[in-house]
Structure 1
Amino acid sequence: MSHGGHSVVHGTPGSARTRLALLAGLFLALLGLVVAAPGSASAATSPTATTPGTNHVTHPELDWMGSTVRAHEGSSAGSGSTVVTPLATQTPGMDVSGYQGNVAWSTAWANGAKFAYVKATESTSYTNPYFAQQYNGSYNVGMIRGSYHFATPDTSGGATQADYFIAHGGGWSADGKTLPGALDIEYNPYGATCYGLSQASMVSWIHAFANEYHAREGVYPVIYSTYDWWSTCTGNNSGFATTSPFWIARYSTSPGTLPAGYSYQTFWQFADSGTFPGDQDRFNGDLSRLQALALG
């Protein structure tokens, strides 16, 4: 039938309703894409995103050397069949982070601390806001000082994090008062214990960090961890024992079992509170040996 020269095709009422329903569905789908798109982009770049390779570090001020140890291992962590006896002379020291704020260094020195490690960085997004007061303050009272990096192997590569660390206080100099930088690698405070990495991938990540640090600074970093974490996440890898000094965390009366390849620990974090601000540490040797380590 023709009206005014235009053909009109009459369909059934049902088919018209079907077309309307399809059009309405298409419209809603397009609307959903428009609304969802900004949210999707935001999630991919959000600091709380957990996609591998993104930065999900949300409370770095609560991540310090050993912050995860007590919760996972208690106060007699890392017990094993082989007990390592420390050398006769132990040199007392401490490690601090932004959590401690401004530290009374003259008091810590008067109480016997001879060295201090200070948190410098975490991932590639955090620097300790109290770093200058802590790093320079410990040096100014006479301590041998060093800095450490809290590793997050699921946010970026090992070499990338080493570069960030070096650029923000992690460098080393042969002045006899600066210790090699330390890699703090421990339980993930944000999720999976081993940061979602296989043992082989974790070993590769640590090698990447250590090799980059050595290439740029001329010394290998100290590695801080617990025996249990090291065994779980690296398969008790022995490949670092000839290059990196090991800093064992065990809150007990002895350092306990050490990772494969190590016959002694260089540092021992034996308590998370005590005489000094922050964590309580001992260097495994007298002050002259600590000075030798500072000289590389």
Structure 2
Amino acid sequence: MSVHTIRSSRRSRFRAAGPLLAALSLLLALPVAAQAADTPSVPERGSAYLGMGVAAHDGVGGLPRDTRAAQTEGVDVASYQGNVNWSALWNSGVKWAYSKATEGTYYTNPSFAQQYNGSYNVGMIRGAYHFATPDTTSGAAQANYFVDHGGGWSKDGKTLPGVLDIEWNPYGAQCYGKSASAMVSWIRDFANTYKSRTGRDVVIYTATSWWQSCTGNSAAFGSTNPLWVARYASSVGALPAGWGFYTMWQYTSTGPTVGDHNKFNGALDRVQALANG
């Protein structure tokens, strides 16, 4: 057999094998692709923000009804919003704001200075919040980290007490792998440490459904810690156990200028009263 004939035969066999090899590669890739499709994407650590899980877990309803009760508009912001147009918000009637300062003991908001000082400079009463990750470090460690990185308080009439944002875990199990009693202990550890550092009771931000699931609907904090409740609907609905009223209500994540808008349960003088302690 000539060399030319041998080479032609080999090329024919390779061409015939091509479709078979492609089909085999596709079959091998299918389980990997299926597994990737079934695995929910986990956000980058540090990217969590106030109300991140509310719409997905509790849904979205209408906007608040006009009750004619005195309420004061506010917003909350995090790093993903970058530099905020505070003048536009002030001119639209927003009078108070919270900015994310920290998360866990591993993250600080790179936009915090512009957000925290910018809201103050246009006349707003402002404060800072901490996104809790109870599965990474203790409540005391996170409270100290928060106070050391923007979460402090001063009685200047323009600084609100810090907020503990405790809600669904965007990085894993919704209750951070903790039992209800362990979660309550973690929150108490944070709250006690924050008060010892600042002299103020930390505001607790949560959603009623999360609180029921992950703390067993604990009533341990209602008499001491102001409640900031999340519910995107026309009414605030049921509150977590222990609280007879809310101090703040996050009612939407799709508001004007900045998405997260809130109602303070009272006129501006009540916002000032909370700031002054």
For residues 58 and 220 of structure 2, the distance between their equivalents in structure 1, rounded to whole angstroms, comes to 24
Q: Does 1:232 align with 2:213?
A: yes
Q: Which runs of 5+ in 1 are unaligned?
A: 1-55, 78-84
Could you tell me which runs of 5 or more consecutive residues in structure 2 were left unpaired when the two chains were aligned.
Answer: 1-41
Say whether residues 1:64 and 2:45 are aligned partners.
no
Alignment-mate amino acid for residue 51 of structure 2: G
* SS state at 2:194 partner: helix
Distance 1:103 1:273 in 2: 15
1:244 to 225, 229, 235: 225
CA contact (8 A) 1:273 1:279 kept: yes
Report sequence identity in percent: 59
Contact map agreement 2:166 2:206 (CA 8 A) in 1: yes
After superposition, where does 1:160-199 map in structure 2 within 5 Å?
160-199=141-180
Task: Please show how residues 38-117 of structure 1 align to structure 2 within 5 Å.
Answer: 58-61=44-47, 63-76=48-61, 88-117=69-98
Output the CA distance in 1 between the equivalents of 2:186 and 2:259.
Answer: 28
RMSD: 1.6
Larger C-alpha radius of gyration, 1 or 2?
1
Structure 1 residues 224 and 211, CA gap change in structure 2 (3 angstroms): same
Deviations 1:188-230 (A, max 9, x none): 0011110000000000000000000001100111000000000
Partner of 2:241: 260
TM-score (ref. length: structure 2): 0.82
1:94 and 1:276 in contact (8 A); partners too = no
Runs of 4+ in 1 over 4 A off after TM superposition: none
1:79-102 deviation line (CA, Å, top 9, x unaligned): xxxxxx978101001000001000
Tell me how many residue pairs correspond in the alignment. 233
Q: Which residue does the alignment assign to 1:120?
A: 101
How far does residue 57 in structure 1 lie from its aligned partner after superposition? 8.2
Task: Provide the C-alpha distance between the structure 2 equivalents of 1:294 and 1:127, rounded to a whole number of angstroms.
Answer: 23
**TM-score normalised by the chain length of structure 1:** 0.76
Equivalent of residue 217 in structure 1, options 176, 186, 198: 198
Q: Which residue type is aligned with residue 143 of structure 2? A: A
Q: Quick one: structure 1 residues 151 and 86, their matched pair in 2 at CA, closer, same or farther if it must change by over 3 Å?
A: farther
- Deviation, 1:275, is 2.1
1:149-160 to 2 correspondences below 5 Å: 149-160=130-141
